[in-house]
């Protein structure tokens, strides 16, 4: 029973209230609403301050005006008293008091309080303030307003203890002030509404863009890596965020494509030697023989094939490592001169054995920031290729230039082999790609891929060009890659 | 091969028994520990000539195991085995107190050669200024080489290669060891460049003399020694 009652309660007024609170708290949680509220608070506060200043200045100005007028009048009456005596003053005060529609208040009494002239029925009981002003309520004088109004007056004592009061009915000014407060209040109210609306509108605009980013992110998480965050231009923070996200996605997609390419290549190019390996062992098992030498031969071939496979794996891993860019954190100044010299030392006898000339021109003191081992591997791969594809008696040039315009250093290896046709130059940088002209030479089609990955890692350009005849490969290190 | 007492710390049972079998067949006494804790205990309880330590072990990582041993004053040569093959991994291994680092998979002959060099190096005398094998002399100060009193001109890299071989005279040095120690290359150049260098060195060291000093060890590498 109790449970039913409670369940019923959830759909009743309490339930609706709870739902409203839930919606409210959800609204409060949105950044858009919070931003709008913050914006509104600031907006209302600043408008309030401005209105307050306007009010104080305007009201103050009116009061000051009145004060000055009264002061002038008092000075005039004093002059009159000095010139025409009490009778003259009484006459003037009576005369001025009689003017209808005048906001002026006058009262002239004897020392005993007997009224001699003026439009007030009695001396006000209010005590003058420190500044000499007396504020009081007037009910009966020939002023403009019918209702009891407030007045502001200055009182002073004439020689002979006669007392004079000169003042102004303030009701008009009070009305003006009331109206002002009223309209300023309206202004503030409208401002607050506009502020809230504008704030919501503005922050929703920004939030819509962030929501667009969220949508793209969800799309990508769902598997569509090609989606990109829309950009609105303008180059503000959100736009920059979108730009950076897109750049990040581009890089991710490139890496993913690279990885997919590797997976495909592994499937194609590692399966072949593995199946060769497998059939070789299987055949040896099928053809039973008493001769241990046959088995020994098969085993030796198997090890050689396995070693080739392992070398391919190692090369693939090196490329992947270079491409991941993780090594960049451990970059240190590398003496490129030493790297190139060492590789030249290593390969010079190999070239000589093949009757090739390895001509070297190695500039001293070329330094770049990088990974020494990867750079050494890149240079030795270039030399290895050059020696492999240059016919016997051919010439290979190894040049290391120092810093030049836009470059920190440049390693050039030029051979006199068959070269690579211009249209195939991008292709040969891909993994496992071997041109028909290269089929005869041993290799796994990973050498140039590694050089390319190492170049990218070091922010260097890999330039392939025609050596007429032969291939000219240049590794150009950008000026900012220079190590200190 | 020397009669050595070797401790193998390797968590993979199959790899451990294969290592133990191979090392025993080469004439050594082998103890096997299957995790870091047992390895640490054995290394402290017994005296070994060399330890072969897998870098990744359950219980205690190979790196920290060696660090603990070194901190405790144990200076038994350590050869790390690891599937992690990058240069940084290698540097970490050597920094932790390892003496050599071999990436899996490896040729057994490579492992044997490296173990022998490690143990021999430990037994070697103080820094020398002169190396001699049979009638071949190498002076490290004047950087000159003589055989049977005759001066032999060598290029700087040939000198470094010969120096490395003479320091490890009698032991097998593999191509990888030469690349690592003479060229500081911790990767495998595709062409067998070392063979060409050895051929050149032979031309200068052995060609004009009746007994060759540089010997080819099939399936492993080279060895510089006085006689067959």
Write the pLDDT tens digit of every residue in A378-409: 999 999 999 999 999 999 999 999 877 777 89
Is the residue at A294 inside a domain? yes
Residue B64 in tokens? 């920290």
Q: Look up the CATH number of the domain holding residue B67.
A: 3.40.50.2300
Q: Whole domain around residue A407: which residue ranges?
A: 327-481
Write the pLDDT tens digit of every residue in A218-230: 888 888 878 888 8
Of A347, A373, A377, the CB nearest to B193: A347
Residue B41 forms contact with A (CB below 8 Å) = no
Does residue A48 share a domain with residue A191? yes
| pLDDT over 70 (residue A19) | no
Q: Which of A345, A347, A387, A450 to mutate to test the interface with B (most CBs of B within 10 A)?
A: A345
Write the pLDDT tens digit of every residue in A241-288: 888 888 888 888 888 887 787 777 777 778 888 888 899 888 888 887
Confidence of residue A24 (pLDDT cuts 50, 70, 90): low
Is the residue at A436 inside a domain? yes
pLDDT given at position A143: 52
Does residue A341 share a domain with residue A461? yes
Does residue B96 share a domain with residue B17? yes
Residue B82 · residue B103 · CB < 8 Å: yes
Instruction: Provide φ and ψ at A431, rounded to 5°.
Output: -65, 140
Check A442 against B190: CB less than 8 A apart: yes
Query: Among the three residues A308, A324, A340, which one is the final residue of a domain in this structure?
Result: A324
What lies within 8 Å, CB to CB, of A13 at 6+ separation is: none
| pLDDT over 70 (residue A141) | no
Does residue A374 share a domain with residue A288? no
pLDDT given at position B159: 95
pLDDT given at position A170: 80
Does residue B153 share a domain with residue B63? no
Helix axes A292-324, A447-457, angle to 10 degrees: 20
Is the residue at A90 inside a domain? yes
Q: Whole domain around residue B167: which residue ranges?
A: 130-224
Burial A408-431 (b: 16+ CB within 10 A, else e): bbbbbbbbbbbbbeeeebeebbeb
User: Nearest-CA residue of chain B relative to A375?
Assistant: B185
Does residue A151 share a domain with residue A138? yes
pLDDT given at position A7: 45
Residue B88 forms contact with A (CB below 8 Å) = yes
Q: What's the gap in Å between the CA of A376 and the closest CA on chain B?
A: 8
Would you give the DSSP letter of residue A266?
Answer: I
Coil, helix or strand at residue B214: strand
Q: Look up the CATH number of the domain holding residue A68.
A: 3.30.450
Bridge partners for A333 per DSSP: A369
Q: Which of B84, B85, B86, B104 to mutate to test the interface with A (most CBs of A within 10 A)?
A: B86
Query: Among the three residues B123, B142, B167, which one is the final residue of a domain in this structure?
Result: B123
Query: Among the three residues B123, B153, B170, which one is the final residue of a domain in this structure?
Result: B123
Instruction: Tell how far CA A234 is from the center of its chain.
Output: 12
Is the residue at A10 inside a domain? no
Would you give the DSSP letter of residue B107?
Answer: -
Check A350 against B105: CB less than 8 A apart: no
Does residue B90 share a domain with residue B24? yes
Q: For residues A446 and A433, what is the distance between their CA atoms, to the nearest angstrom?
A: 8
Residue A273 in tokens? 């030697």
Is the previous residue joined to B105 through a cis bond, with omega within 30 degrees of 0? yes
Is the residue at A48 inside a domain? yes
Q: What's the gap in Å between the CA of B191 and the closest CA on chain A?
A: 7
Check B196 against A377: CB less than 8 A apart: no
Would you give the DSSP letter of residue A404?
Answer: B
Longest dimension (CA), chain A: 160
Residue B182 in tokens? 């003479």
CA atoms within 13 A on the CB side of B148: 11
Strand order in the sheet with A471-478: A357-362, A395-401, A407-414, A471-478, A460-466
Number of domain units in chain B: 2
Bridge partners for A138 per DSSP: A149
Relative to beta strand A460-466, strand A395-401 is unpaired
Higher per-residue pLDDT: A133 or A15: A133
Q: For residues A349 and A345, what is the distance between their CA atoms, to the nearest angstrom?
A: 8
Residue A274 · residue A441 · CB < 8 Å: no
Q: How far are the Cα atoms of A202, A304, A331, B216 from residue A371, in angstroms, in the given order?
A: 50, 30, 6, 34
Cα angle A388, A392, A393 (rounded to 5 degrees) comes to 125
Query: What is the rounded average pLDDT for all residues in chain A?
Result: 82
Burial B129-151 (b: 16+ CB within 10 A, else e): eebebeebbbeeeeeebebeeee
| pLDDT over 70 (residue B228) | no
Does residue A191 share a domain with residue A140? yes
Q: Look up the CATH number of the domain holding residue B139.
A: 1.10.10.10
Quote ipTM for the complex. Answer: 0.86
């Amino acid at each position: 029973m109790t449970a039913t009652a409670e369940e019923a309660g959830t759909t009743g007024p309490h339930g609706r209230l709870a739902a409203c609170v839930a919606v409210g708290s959800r609204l409060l949680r949105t950044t858009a609403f919070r931003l709008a509220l913050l914006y509104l608070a600031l907006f209302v506060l600043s408008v309030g301050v401005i209105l307050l200043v306007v009010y104080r200045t305007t009201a103050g100005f009116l009061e000051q005006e009145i004060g000055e007028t009264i002061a002038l009048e008092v000075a005039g009456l004093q002059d009159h008293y000095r010139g025409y005596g009490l009778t003259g003053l009484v006459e003037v005060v009576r005369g001025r008091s009689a003017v209808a529609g005048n906001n002026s208040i006058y009262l002239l009494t004897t020392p005993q309080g007997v009224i001699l002239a003026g439009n007030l029925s009695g001396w006000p009981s209010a005590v003058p303030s420190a500044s000499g002003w007396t504020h009081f309520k007037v009910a009966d004088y020939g002023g403009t307003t019918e209702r009891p109004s407030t007045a502001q007056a200055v009182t002073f004592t004439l020689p002979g203890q006669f007392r004079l009061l000169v003042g102004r009915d303030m009701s008009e000014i009070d009305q003006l002030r009331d109206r002002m407060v009223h309209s300023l209040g309206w202004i503030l109210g409208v401002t607050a509404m506009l502020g809230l609306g504008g704030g919501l509108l503005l922050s929703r605009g920004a939030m819509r863009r962030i929501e667009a980013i969220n949508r793209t992110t969800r799309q990508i998480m769902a598997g569509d890596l090609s989606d990109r965050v829309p950009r609105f231009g303008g180059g503000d923070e959100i736009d920059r965020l979108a730009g950076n996200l897109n750049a990040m996605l581009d890089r991710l997609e490139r890496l993913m494509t690279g990885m997919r390419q590797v997976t495909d290549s592994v499937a194609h190019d590692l399966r072949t030697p593995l199946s060769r390996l497998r059939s070789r062992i299987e055949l040896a098992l099928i053809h039973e023989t008493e001769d241990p030498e046959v088995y020994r031969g098969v085993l030796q071939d198997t090890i050689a094939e396995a070693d080739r496979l392992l070398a391919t794996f190692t090369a693939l891993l090196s490329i992947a490592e270079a491409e991941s860019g993780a090594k960049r954190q451990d970059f240190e100044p590398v003496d490129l001169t030493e790297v190139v010299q060492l590789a030249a030392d290593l390969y010079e006898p190999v070239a000589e054995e093949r009757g090739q000339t390895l001509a070297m021109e190695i500039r001293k003191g070329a330094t770049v920031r990088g990974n020494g081992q990867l750079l050494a591997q890149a240079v030795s791969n270039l030399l290895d290729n050059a020696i492999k594809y240059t016919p016997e008696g051919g010439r290979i040039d190894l040049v290391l230039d120092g810093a030049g315009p836009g470059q920190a250093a440049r390693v050039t290896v030029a051979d006199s082999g068959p070269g690579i046709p211009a249209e195939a130059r991008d292709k040969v940088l891909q993994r496992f790609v071997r041109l028909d002209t290269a089929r005869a030479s041993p290799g796994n089609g990973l050498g140039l891929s590694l050089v390319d990955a190492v170049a990218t890692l070091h922010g260097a350009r890999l330039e392939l060009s025609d050596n007429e005849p032969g291939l000219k490969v240049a590794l150009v290190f950008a000026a900012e890659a220079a190590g200190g | 091969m020397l009669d050595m007492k070797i401790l193998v710390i390797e968590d993979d049972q199959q790899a451990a028994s294969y290592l133990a079998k191979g090392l025993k067949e080469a004439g050594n006494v082998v103890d096997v520990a299957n995790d870091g804790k047992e390895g640490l205990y054995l290394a402290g309880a017994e005296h070994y000539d060399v330890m072969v330590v897998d870098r990744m072990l359950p219980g205690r990582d190979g790196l920290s195991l060696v660090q603990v041993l070194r901190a405790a004053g144990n200076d038994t040569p350590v050869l790390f085995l690891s599937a992690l093959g990058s240069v940084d991994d290698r540097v970490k291994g050597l920094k932790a107190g390892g003496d050599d680092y071999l990436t899996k998979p490896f040729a057994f002959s490579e492992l044997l050669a490296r173990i022998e060099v490690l143990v021999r190096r430990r037994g070697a005398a103080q820094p020398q200024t002169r190396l001699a094998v049979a009638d071949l002399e190498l002076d490290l100060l004047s950087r000159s080489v003589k055989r049977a009193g005759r001066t032999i001109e060598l290029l700087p890299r040939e000198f470094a290669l010969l120096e490395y071989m003479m320091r490890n005279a009698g032991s097998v040095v593999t191509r990888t060891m030469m690349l690592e120690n003479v060229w500081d290359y911790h990767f495998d150049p595709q062409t067998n460049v070392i063979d060409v260098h050895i051929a050149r060195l032979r031309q200068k060291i052995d060609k004009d003399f009746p007994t060759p000093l540089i010997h080819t060890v099939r399936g492993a590498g080279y060895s510089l020694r006085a006689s067959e």
